[in-house]
Structure 1
């Protein structure tokens, strides 16, 4: 009994010591608050192609919103995208007219669903597929999670805007799964996989496989798998990366649509038809039904890499297709990633064909009859040249603010003065959650700025802006300390090797305004101590490391409001 009392007293004393130590630790970290964020796009393609009253822009989602999938329930459309190691994962949008889109959240918004803590920026969630099953009034999102030992998985919900189930792991290999619900209530899964061991004919040789799906157990039926496409449209031509499959049914026939050619300059969309959901699937003679690979490389207003598509039928029997494509900048680089485009689809013949999907794409489309373009209004996502301002004081931050590898709530708190960031020990180069709040880069020419209230107490503290392609390719522009002085620094990291571009001693009496201006393929990092007059640091620097051409991977660039307790930038 005596020993229990002693242990209790010791525990209380230890708890007080731990609490006191925590308070000292918190007090030893400088407070840092970001507010008055602004982002403005100024791309020439939009300035030179102003909208008429009956037009809208495609892409409908600018920036890193690749691998779109779409479904419909009644008058409501829902669209999802790949999110890789971004957290939360799988952004989900809704629309009633396919033109005006509103983000209603993320499908994977909890750590129990998303295991990307140690993943590279291009790991995590690949090619989600969303489909509505009218037989049980349920939405399904099926995807591959290349992280945390998850693999292929499915979640479901009755209402896409009100949260999704925990993850159900699926018992098959490969990537890019999609689910199909037949008229008789049966369900099937199709996906990309490697050919049977010993039968691979060339690098990039893949197959499309199908499984029966048990809706009660939410699992594929063991032994039901069957290869329905080997290699692609014509195996003798050695097609590469048949992937992103979807099945549709029309007039009693089954149609399998897939991406082919790899998600680069040879990307395309192809179509097959069968009398049975299990094949044999016969390719259309007029494949591909969507591509941009046949046109001059120096064409005006270039759109490229078109493919990885999904179709949806409107209530009045028309069809539209969403797909990914890229718009390279003036130097041919891909900085803002693969974006979500849309085109009407002509299915008056035997096979569907994307209207104007086999000619150089234009930036504008005709509005569907009776639809008004409300881009950037009434909560709808903006496109074209737009300005996005956010004081960062709303308790519920806009859905477009994301973190990397972990929840943003783990390091931010919103106050009446802006977002307060509690920095992690990790810095931006870590394969771990980082204390940075990210917004997608959505233009070639842009200007972004934020007010930062921060006075570092040690040389290990830094806060500012990061332009981030990955943990190995990024810029950091921020405030730190050396001896007793404050410095503003600019660092470039390429292939994981960092180089100081510039540093200047500054006098910090109040908040500092940080600004990044992108023009063509160059970036200028500027700062202002009075909120009006800007000074440049480091001159114009290349945006090359923010492109997938240089950095590799599958994502577009992000702009981050960043803080760390592991600063390794040493001012001159």
Structure 2
């Protein structure tokens, strides 16, 4: 080939490349010109219980993680504590926190943060991934996170790392069925996996009959050893009483005895924690005579400041050489609805006798605990996760977005970008009612009384365009509060979706010349949606609506309510 020809071809390739880049730039510019920009967001928690119970110097609040952070599991290496929780179809999967003292926690994001390895893109919000276990193995200086994933045919998986602050390895698929796995390492370095499973085929005795299995674990191959599985608990503490949903097992070793601690009774009003003892990690296990060791099921349903559903626990030795337990519980609103979801609570544990017992875990729980000796409460300061009543202000000026902002069924990074004016959302052609990743930046509802507000710059170009706020329990139960078009006019609307059926509650034609402010303010079960035009005061869009559809009581499932910054180019919510 001649040099002239080479030069000509090179020039042609370069021209085509420049043309393509120019076209892409033009497309991007055109696309971004209509994309909504959220210049700020503010969440304010204002629950009365915290006003009535201010902290003293040596106290901290429980729950330690408010909002939908259920199924906690915890481990320790030296003076470093790591805790994980369920995340379902939220993304990233398996939120993880770090602490030096069990009081002040730092959010490290999610363990499963690669969509190529964990992709809940087509699952209901209560599927995805849940009930993790986390264990530090001192024999090889390695952390293990084991969990059940209901997506992509993953099933039970395990991931490892030397340092949870630096990320995790790829998921390893494990060869067993069932849910709620955890891993235990004995003094001699041997590994064991315990999990919930169905009874042997043909031996199921009643609805909710489950068993706990143990497997030996091969640390070299990172697999359970075939043929080593054994049922170590059948049904629960007393099979004759037909206990349901023995689950969330954890193995411990203390004073040359092996302890198996499990949840029993289902993750609702009958939830509890029970414990068994054995001379071997493979049993036989004998139940404690004083089971349950934690429950809130025995008390009047109308008790004030109710904490309920306590169970699904894990134990760790604290900085004061005393045991503590983390577990899930709920704080329903005044109509006994569960909107904030199942949260992570903590209690000290008395293990001075043969069996561990949660201190004050068998009486109605209060909101405050004594801190381990020498600890200073820094929650909500210096980058530590807040609890109690707090205000979270986000101006979208930091390059690193707070980990409390999450995606649904996919990464938030697929639709957000930080621009000069704030956070820009590039809308997906997906609306909030579809089983697909949505272009919604979500924040967990963490109080029964709260407000969430944002400032929005947006000019919808058609009826297919909508941006605003969404309050979501799941794809079939939610409120959409946003701005769209009808003909040549701009409208603001509130849509209620219950059991998949949608209706416009209120709508109004607006003339928004500048930024539009949107707000949802909940006082228990009453949710009021308001907007402010052109720097004016907030005005209500219709009357307060019920938060019933944002509760698990109505919607079912396992998650708490989420509130999010939402945009779609596939809107089907049309004003009256």
Q: Is the 8 A contact 1:105 1:161 kept in 2?
A: no
Say whether 1:79 aligns with 2:97. no
Q: Is the 8 A contact 1:395 1:415 kept in 2?
A: no
1:129-166 alpha-carbon deviations (Å, 9 max, x no partner): 01100011110000000111100000010110111001
**SS, match of residue 538 in structure 1:** coil
Give matches, 1:139-150, under 5 Å: 139-150=143-154
Instruction: Output the CA distance in 2 between the equivalents of 1:11 and 1:460.
Output: 38
Q: What's 2:37 paired with?
A: 33
Which residue of the other structure, out of 451, 459, 475, is the alignment partner of 1:447?
Answer: 451
**Pairwise CA RMSD of aligned residues?**
1.9
Instruction: Output the CA distance in 2 between the equivalents of 1:260 and 1:35.
Output: 46
Query: CA shift at 1:375, angstroms?
Result: 1.4
Which residue of the other structure, out of 98, 113, 116, is the alignment partner of 1:112?
Answer: 116
Q: What's 1:51 paired with?
A: 55
**SS, match of residue 434 in structure 1:** coil
Q: What's 2:462 paired with?
A: 458
Instruction: Output the CA distance in 2 between the equivalents of 1:299 and 1:186.
Output: 47
Instruction: Output the CA distance in 2 between the equivalents of 1:499 and 1:18.
Output: 44
Instruction: Output the CA distance in 2 between the equivalents of 1:47 and 1:82.
Output: 29
Which residue of the other structure, out of 235, 260, 268, is the alignment partner of 1:256?
Answer: 260
Say whether 1:405 aligns with 2:409. yes
Which residue of the other structure, out of 537, 541, 548, is the alignment partner of 1:537?
Answer: 541
Instruction: Output the CA distance in 2 between the equivalents of 1:431 and 1:293.
Output: 35
Q: What's 1:290 paired with?
A: 294
Query: CA shift at 1:10, angstroms?
Result: 12
Which residue of the other structure, out of 269, 273, 291, is the alignment partner of 2:273?
Answer: 269
Say whether 1:569 aligns with 2:573. yes
Q: What's 1:506 paired with?
A: 510
Say whether 1:312 aligns with 2:297. no
Which residue of the other structure, out of 373, 376, 383, is the alignment partner of 2:380?
Answer: 376
Say whether 1:227 aligns with 2:231. yes
1:510-566 alpha-carbon deviations (Å, 9 max, x no partner): 110001100120100000013340111121100000000000000000011000000
What stretches of structure 1 of length at least 5 have no aligned partner?
none
What stretches of structure 2 of length at least 5 have no aligned partner?
2-7
Q: Is the 8 A contact 2:155 2:177 kept in 1?
A: yes
Which residue of the other structure, out of 170, 174, 179, is the alignment partner of 1:175?
Answer: 179
Which residue of the other structure, out of 358, 364, 368, is the alignment partner of 2:368?
Answer: 364
Q: Is the 8 A contact 1:206 1:242 kept in 2?
A: yes
**SS, match of residue 345 in structure 1:** strand
Q: What's 2:134 paired with?
A: 130
Which residue of the other structure, out of 159, 164, 170, is the alignment partner of 1:166?
Answer: 170
Instruction: Output the CA distance in 2 between the equivalents of 1:41 and 1:313.
Output: 31
After TM superposition, the runs of 4+ consecutive aligned structure 1 residues lying more than 6 A away are 8-15
Query: CA shift at 1:316, angstroms?
Result: 4.9
Say whether 1:348 aligns with 2:352. yes
Say whether 1:515 aligns with 2:519. yes
Instruction: Output the CA distance in 2 between the equivalents of 1:14 and 1:394.
Output: 33
Q: Is the 8 A contact 1:428 1:434 kept in 2?
A: yes
Which residue of the other structure, out of 152, 155, 163, is the alignment partner of 2:156?
Answer: 152
Instruction: Output the CA distance in 1 between the equivalents of 2:220 and 2:29.
Output: 50
Which residue of the other structure, out of 476, 481, 491, is the alignment partner of 2:480?
Answer: 476
Which residue of the other structure, out of 435, 439, 453, is the alignment partner of 1:435?
Answer: 439
Which residue of the other structure, out of 243, 246, 251, is the alignment partner of 2:250?
Answer: 246
Which residue of the other structure, out of 204, 208, 221, is the alignment partner of 1:200?
Answer: 204
**SS, match of residue 117 in structure 1:** coil
Q: Is the 8 A contact 2:521 2:529 kept in 1?
A: yes
Q: Is the 8 A contact 2:73 2:314 kept in 1?
A: yes
Instruction: Output the CA distance in 2 between the equivalents of 1:12 and 1:81.
Output: 52
**SS, match of residue 544 in structure 2:** strand
Instruction: Output the CA distance in 2 between the equivalents of 1:560 and 1:166.
Output: 30
1:479-520 alpha-carbon deviations (Å, 9 max, x no partner): 111111111111011111110011111112111000110012
Structure 2-normalised TM-score? 0.96
Distance 1:254 1:509, change over 3 A: same
Q: What's 2:422 paired with?
A: 418
Instruction: Output the CA distance in 2 between the equivalents of 1:568 and 1:302.
Output: 39
1:162-188 alpha-carbon deviations (Å, 9 max, x no partner): 110011000000000000000000000
